[in-house]
Structure 1
Amino acid sequence: MITPGPLDHAEAVRYLGDARVEMNDAMEQLLADCEEQVLSVAEPKFLYKVLDLPCEKLMAGEDIAMHLEGCTKAVLFCATLGTGIDRMLRVEQVKDMSRAVVLDALASVAIEQVCRQFDTFLADKFPDLFQTFRFSPGYGDYPIDLQKVFLTELDAPKKIGLTTNDNFLLIPTKSVTAITGLSETEPPKRRRGCASCNLRGSCNYRQRGDHCGS
């Protein structure tokens, strides 16, 4: 079973755009209160499926071919915190937008934590295989409309209520789809880069024309 918590406050502050956040006792208390609220509402669920490679329906663009180079299997994965998080955020956006923003950041930390726990689960399940990092539709030139393929392959709408809208954005919003490659030999070390970073929309490094080195 995968359960998020405790949540990394420093990571949440990065999601908030850390240069704009003044850390003091009041902010620490707000983070703690919001963490408790997120964890009380979140209902994390995940699905995965192991497919043999090559698998044509997953291949579109050069980036995914490079990502899965040398891999013999691919693991399709999806995870969600559930609809309760979306309802909570909508209510808080009406009541207190500042608190809603912090809740949103901590929910992002929570779903990423679920993904990292799945990475560990996968490593334990396939101890003799190397795994790539997660790669999602919408990263680089990997088409975002493949969200539909992932969710259909995993039967996610029926099993965990995870769907997409007409723009292929996931519903509930605090959800992830991804593919991980499994290889008998260690894959080349590649930088994830900005295209595959969850912080790319609010990253202070990118705003000043720099990068973090990931």
Structure 2
Amino acid sequence: MPIFNGFLQKIDIAETKRYAGLRTSENFSDKIVADACMAAQAIAKPRGIFQQCCYDSDSCQLLCEEPFTIEGSKIREHLKNSEIAIIMAVTIGGDIEKEVNTLFSKKEYSKGLMLDAAATTATEMIADQLNHYIDEMAAKHGYETTWRYSPGYGDWPLTQQMNLIKAVHADQIDIHLTSGCMLVPQKSITAIIGMARSVVESGIPSGCRNCSMHNTCSSRKE
């Protein structure tokens, strides 16, 4: 499985504010946010891994080492034109979670909240980097790609995290699962990207617009 080593040159301050739910709040100074971003950049250990598999759109099976059926109508619709699927996983490691917990234990809640938000931003940035690399790789071979789709989006059951981390061998970058199918370290992402000779828009909205909590989440993207 190809390993991807991302690089965090700078963590996006605006995105960090969004993940912290600070669209309108003025309780956090710009310095607190900037310091959190710098701390996250210093602590994070970004790594990624990905695996290419054939995809049978008729049976909705991902034909990896241990084939499994994709569950959920929205993700099936999303992949319906794909011949190949790329499974990807990224993480920034567990050290940053330990630091967040330390800050909360010291009752430094503002710093802990902002560091956690900066860590989420960093994780998404590494996922974007790997996503871009996959897009470029696909284009060189005459394929177009779908946007990445993760378990828990739409009606894709979170339980299929288990299938994805096995297929991509996420343990090679120290990503594991809890009994409730949550990723460890928490600042990790798994996703699937479809590849097709000609991508036809499915009409399914991407990202936050596809989430059942879109109307209530303070961290959503507009």
Q: TM-score w.r.t. structure 2 length?
A: 0.84
**SS of residue matched to 1:51:** strand
Match of 1:169 in 2: 182
User: Structure 1 residue 180 and structure 2 residue 193: aligned?
Assistant: yes
Q: What is the Cα deviation at residue 20 of structure 1? A: 4.3
Conserved in 2, the CA contact under 8 Å of 1:147 and 1:177? yes
Which among 91, 111, 123 is matched to residue 80 of structure 1?
Answer: 91
Which among 79, 96, 103 is matched to residue 92 of structure 1?
Answer: 103
Match of 1:52 in 2: 54
Listed as ranges, the matches of 1:133-152 within 5 Å are 133-152=147-166
Q: How many residues align?
A: 204
Conserved in 2, the CA contact under 8 Å of 1:4 and 1:39? yes
Conserved in 2, the CA contact under 8 Å of 1:129 and 1:183? yes
Conserved in 2, the CA contact under 8 Å of 1:73 and 1:183? yes
**SS of residue matched to 2:195:** strand
Gaps of 5+ in 1: none
**SS of residue matched to 1:123:** helix
CA RMSD in angstroms comes to 2.2
Q: How many percent of aligned residue pairs carry the same amino acid? A: 26
Partner AA of 2:183 in structure 1? L
Q: TM-score w.r.t. structure 1 length?
A: 0.87
**SS of residue matched to 1:126:** helix
CA shift in 2, pair 1:145/1:193, >3 Å: same
Give the Cα separation in 1 of the matches to 2:125 and 2:163. Answer: 24
Conserved in 2, the CA contact under 8 Å of 1:75 and 1:181? yes
User: Structure 1 residue 6 and structure 2 residue 19: aligned?
Assistant: no
Conserved in 2, the CA contact under 8 Å of 1:17 and 1:202? no
Conserved in 1, the CA contact under 8 Å of 2:87 and 2:164? yes
User: Structure 1 residue 122 and structure 2 residue 134: aligned?
Assistant: yes
Q: What is the Cα deviation at residue 201 of structure 1? A: 9.2
Gaps of 5+ in 2: 63-67
Conserved in 2, the CA contact under 8 Å of 1:52 and 1:74? yes
Match of 2:77 in 1: 66
Runs of 4+ in 1 over 6 A off after TM superposition: none
Larger fraction in helix: 1
**SS of residue matched to 1:37:** helix
